[in-house]
Each structure stands twice: as C-alpha cells, then as structure tokens.
Amino acid sequence: MQKKDIVMSGIRPTGFLHLGNYFGALRNFVRMQEEYECYFMLADVHSLTTHPDTKELAGHVKRVLAEYIACGLDPEKVALYCQSHVPETTELYLYLNMLAYKGELEKTTTFKEKARSQPDNVNAGLLTYPVLQAADILLHRASLVPVGKDQEQHLEMSRNFANRFNHRYGDLFPEPKAFNFGSGLVKVPSLDGAGKMSKSENQSATIYLSDSDDAIRKKLMKAKTDSGPTAPNTVKPDYIENIFQLMRLVSDEATLVSFEKAYDECRIRYGDMKKQLGEDMVKFIAPIREKAESIRNDEGYLRSVMEKGAAKAGASAAATMEKVRAAIGLKYY
Ligand code: TYM
C-alpha cells in the first residue's frame, strides 16, 4: 500500500474560534482527514508567548477541542492533541533554534507586529515562535499544512529550517507546504473592512462559531456598506467585496448571483443583502455552536480524546526524534 501524505496543523487556544479559523483552517482539516494521515493540534505552548496569564487557558483548550470535533473532525481518524502533551516538540524546537538566525527571526512580520502591540513583553518565545511552529510540523515529517493566508511566511520559514537541517545533517524532512483545497490561501476579512477576523481583537467585527443567532444577525447588520454603486459594473470597494466574500462562503449560488446582478445593475439594497446573509450565516453556525456546547459539557469524553490524541502524536514524535538525534550525531554507541 502506498504511504499516505502526512498533514499537520494547529490553532492557538487564545479565545473563541471564528469564521476565519473555520474557512482558513478547519474546513480543510475536515476534508483532509478522509485522505491523509492527520495531526491536528491545540498550540497551547505558543499561546504563552502572548497570553502569559493562564487563568482562561484550560477553558479555551476544552472549548476549541469541542469546536474541532463539532466542525466534523473525527478523533478516531485523526490525532487531536495538545502541543504541551507531546514534549518531543520542545526538544526538536531546541535543535532547530541552532539553525535559525536572529536576523531572519527579527524580520518576521508577526514578530514585528507583536513586539509593537506588547512592548513590555518582547520575550524570546515570541522571537522564536516560527521555530516552534516548524518543530510542530517537522515532528511528524508532515508535507501538507492547511492554514490561512496569514501563516504563509511562517510556512516559508519552516521550509527553510527543514532544508537547513537536511543540508547539514542529511535528508530527513520533507518540505512542508501551506495548503488549501481550491485556489489560494484564504483570508476572511473583518466586518468593518479593517484587517481580518481575529480571536482577540476586533470582536464586534468578527463572527465566532459560538455567537448566538441574534449576535450574528446584529454584527452582520452593522457591517460597513455605503449608498451603493452609481454606474453599472463598478469595481466593488473592499468592504463591499468582503460582504460578497462572506456570502460566497455560506449562501447558495442562486442567492449570490442575484445580489451580484443587483450590484452590477445599481439596484442593490445592502439592508436586504445583510439580512439574507444573516439568515444563511445563522443556518451555518447554529448547528456547530449547539454541537460544540454539548461536547464541551462532556468532560470525560474530552479527556479521553486528548489522551488518545497525545498517544498517537507521541508515537509519531518519538519515531521522528530517534532519527533526528541519530542524524545530528547525538548517539554515541
Ligand atoms: P491561529 O491560531 O492564529 O489561527 C489558526 C488558523 O486559522 C487561520 N486564520 C485565518 N484564516 C483566514 N482568515 C482569517 N481571518 C484567519 N484568522 C486565522 C490561520 O491562518 C491558521 O491556519 N501559528 C498558528 C498556530 C500554529 C500552527 C502550527 C499552524 C502553531 N503551530 C503548526 C500550522 C502548523 C497560529 O497562530 O494560528
């Protein structure tokens, strides 16, 4: 039998999951579980780089795990685990740190953003964040990494670290690639037209998988629009394109086409469009929210999923680390 390609990805448990996480990452995870050997992780160690206060961590970890499953991930088919439960991650992270240069780490966009937003806590973990991410991926010798557009640079760095390791110590790691079914990587914009949906910033312009029906409708009604185009077939401004993009994600084709046509013919009514989008969004999110809530309340089940995931991921990690230590020359007999 041909060996399956290996898939790895993760999400930081720093808050509630949102549409960006779903369409950038989770939707791909769910489809990939049928065809590949998959490792999906909760990046709890990464979250310490920005959220040193861990009061809410356990709650977020359990909630995100429940949301993973509610979105369709099957713990029997994939390894669902917490990063901190696979300590080999930190060993590989340490070795990869010797192959990562200060200059390239300082130039990383996410590092520069975080250094700006938390000037009192520019810790070394923040600087070496992409090295830890590379360790997560290379630990399973994964070649496909389903992520949203914002992770592109981190993936490029993972490839660089893998290549440097291979070059120095012999071929061991495949080159990991960012993956999305369909065309390019996805970026789900925020509803105010400024930036992307996010777990902790911009909450009124982000739709969460845990939002109530009412909250979803209200947030969408407040999304930024204008008085509409004045000439046929006008190029859409970004914030209007965003609303169409959300409609493309959750509405049916006929609905989308009818609003596209109304826009091109300058007779669009954004109030109606947002109302329709609200209903389609509620239909999409409500079943996920309800399922996640019921899974979240089953602590025994969540614990068994976590333990099983850690055992599966741990076995894969242990096998890789044997090879890593031997390749580096840390085996003396
Ligand atoms: P995180 O937790 O910020 O986001 C998790 C996933 O959701 C995607 N995403 C989005 N996609 C489209 N539009 C958006 N608005 C949007 N917001 C978030 C992200 O691209 C990501 O795929 N560093 C990672 C976590 C990580 C990881 C890994 C990922 C740790 N180790 C190993 C892959 C492989 C992060 O912070 O994702």
Q: Where are the domains of the chain?
A: 6-186+298-328, 211-293
- Tell how far the Cα of 303 is from the centroid of ligand 1, in angstroms: 24
- 211-293 has the same fold as 6-186+298-328: no
- Tell how far the Cα of 52 is from the centroid of ligand 1, in angstroms: 19
- Tell how far the Cα of 6 is from the centroid of ligand 1, in angstroms: 18
Mean pLDDT of 294-307: 98
pTM (global) more than 0.85? yes
Tens-place pLDDT, residues 235-291: 999 899 999 999 999 999 999 999 999 999 999 999 999 999 999 999 999 999 999
Residue 288 corresponds to which amino acid?
Answer: I
Structure tokens of 266?
Answer: 């300058």
Residue 114 falls in the annotated catalytic set: yes
Locus of tokens 């996010």: 198
Ligand 1 nearest atom to the CA of residue 186, by list position: 12
Tens-place pLDDT, residues 56-84: 999 999 999 999 999 999 999 999 999 99
Residue 102 falls in the annotated catalytic set: no
Mean pLDDT of 130-144: 98
Q: Is 251 in the pocket of ligand 1 (CB under 6 A)?
A: no
What dotted CATH number matches 6-186+298-328?
3.40.50.620
Which of 3, 55, 112, 114 does the annotation list as catalytic?
114
Ligand 1 nearest atom to the CA of residue 190, by list position: 15
Ligand 1 nearest atom to the CA of residue 188, by list position: 13
Cα within 13 Å of Cα(83), Cβ side: 26
Ligand 1 nearest atom to the CA of residue 136, by list position: 32
CB 83 within 8 A of CB 136: yes
Mean pLDDT of 11-22: 95
Q: Probe ligand 1: pick from 147, 155, 159, 200, max atoms within 8 Å of CB?
A: 147
Residue 275 falls in the annotated catalytic set: no
Tens-place pLDDT, residues 79-90: 999 999 999 999
- Tell how far the Cα of 231 is from the centroid of ligand 1, in angstroms: 39
Q: Is the dihedral of CA 139, 143, 146, 148 positive or negative?
A: positive
Which of 196, 219, 274, 312 does the annotation list as catalytic?
196
Locus of tokens 């914002």: 150
User: How far is it, in rounded angstroms, from Cα 64 to Cα 14?
Assistant: 9
Tens-place pLDDT, residues 152-174: 999 999 999 999 999 999 999 99
| Homologous superfamily of domain range 211-293 | Tyrosyl-Transfer RNA Synthetase (1.10.240.10)
- Tell how far the Cα of 239 is from the centroid of ligand 1, in angstroms: 23
User: How far is it, in rounded angstroms, from Cα 64 to Cα 18?
Assistant: 11
Which of 55, 149, 199, 274 does the annotation list as catalytic?
199
User: How far is it, in rounded angstroms, from Cα 95 to Cα 97?
Assistant: 5
Of all protein residues, the one whose alpha carbon is nearest to atom 1 of ligand 1 is: 11
Q: How confident is the model at residue 203 (pLDDT cuts 50, 70, 90)?
A: confident
40 versus 196: which is more confidently predicted?
A: 40
